Chains A and B, each alone.
Chain A
Amino acid sequence: MSQAENQQHPIGVYLKIWVLLFVLSTASYMVDYFHVQSYLRWSLIIVFMLLKAGLIVAVFMHMMWERLAFIYAILLPPLLILTFIGIGALEADYTFLTRGVFFFKSAL
């Protein structure tokens, strides 16, 4: 690899992200500590989770400094997982419905 380059960045970048990750983790723990419920709880959990994951991948794993060809090769395949989540949710709904029908009939 003649063109390979080292990922060399100032320490300050890592320290800032580190502090941010601490703040975000505390925030997501507070969601549970103060018993936030329902849609507000779920959306807060997901927002904090995605922010943390994004910071780790972008800065700690140096993804934001890589070339676009590499970023796409690594980050696009996991999008398939979204399809899989959809299939899993459909299947779960169907199973739940079948169980509901079964238990409802036996209760009669």
Chain B
Amino acid sequence: MTHPVSTIPIHSPVLEPGVKGLVSDWSADQQSFKKVPWGKAMMWIFLVSDTFIFSIFLISYMTVRMSSPEPWPKPSEVFALTIGGKHIPLILIALMTFILITSSGTMAMAVNYGYRKDRRKTFVLLLITALLGASFVGMQAFEWTKLITEEGIRPWGNPLGAAQFGSVFFMVTGFHGTHVSIGVILLVIFAIKVWRGDLEHERPGFLTKRKSSYEAIEIVGLYWHFVDLVWVFIFAFFYLW
């Protein structure tokens, strides 16, 4: 017994662009996200959920800062450093921002060279990205140490003003730093995979047993760029505001 075969093609060979495409994609059978590998779609959906987590942190920060009758400590002064006898405001945070942006650039290029199947360049760029990420975490550790030991800032209070400053600071930067650290681990793992040629030869991954491909670099890249994206918002609202 054979099944009746529909004469209507499941995939229309030509995809419509623009708003018409939006409607036809969403009303399509089987899948709405055309041209997007599912691993990438899933990473994006995870990033949306992570966006909500960080938004909740930033919104609660806004709420406690607006409702605090005590003066909020000036981040510009708290995070100032004296380098070579010169007092420079917020310099450490500015440096960390530039490091993260540089790492985002090297990551974007790693993705690009990955799709070009340039194993060597992809490996080197991934490693540079991981090193920049690790130096970011290192500077954050320095920043935390300085704040805890020298300024006496605690999650429950500080000598500079509103007590909520400490709790928000440790919560938000701690969560972001954790994301950066996880990203560095991911980058190192995938740098090794690239070096061994796992992606090129489509060897099964150790966790999922699925065939590896250079798409994985783009997916790791999405996570890394997201970490940079979150820092853009933290830099603006916590450090500059």
Contacts and interface: CB of A to CB of B under 8 A. Distances in A.
* B is bound to A: yes
Interface of A: 1-9, 11, 14-15, 17-18, 21-22, 25, 28-29, 31-33, 41-42, 45-46, 48-49, 52-53, 56-57, 59-62, 66-70, 72-74, 77-78, 81, 84-85, 88-89, 91-93, 95-96, 99-100, 103
Interface residues of B, number: 70
Interface in B82-100: 89-90, 94, 97-98
B56 to A, nearest CB: 8
B34 A60 contact: no
Contact of A84 (B55, B115, B228, B233): B55
B90 to A, nearest CB: 5
Interface stretch (B106-114, B178-186, B199-207): B106-114
Given A69-B22, A78-B51, A45 B240 contact: yes
What does DSSP make chain B's interface, helix, strand, loop or mixed? helix
B59 A29 contact: no
Contacts of B38: 1
B236 A46 contact: yes
B170 interface: no
Contacts of A46: 236
B34 A3 contact: yes
Contacts of B111: 7
B36 interface: yes
Main SS class of interface, A: helix
Contacts of B89: 32-33
A99 B229 contact: no
Given A92-B62, A100-B69, A25 B101 contact: yes
A68 B232 contact: no
Contact of A49 (B22, B105, B232): B232
A96 B59 contact: no
Contacts of B115: 6-8
A16 to B, nearest CB: 11
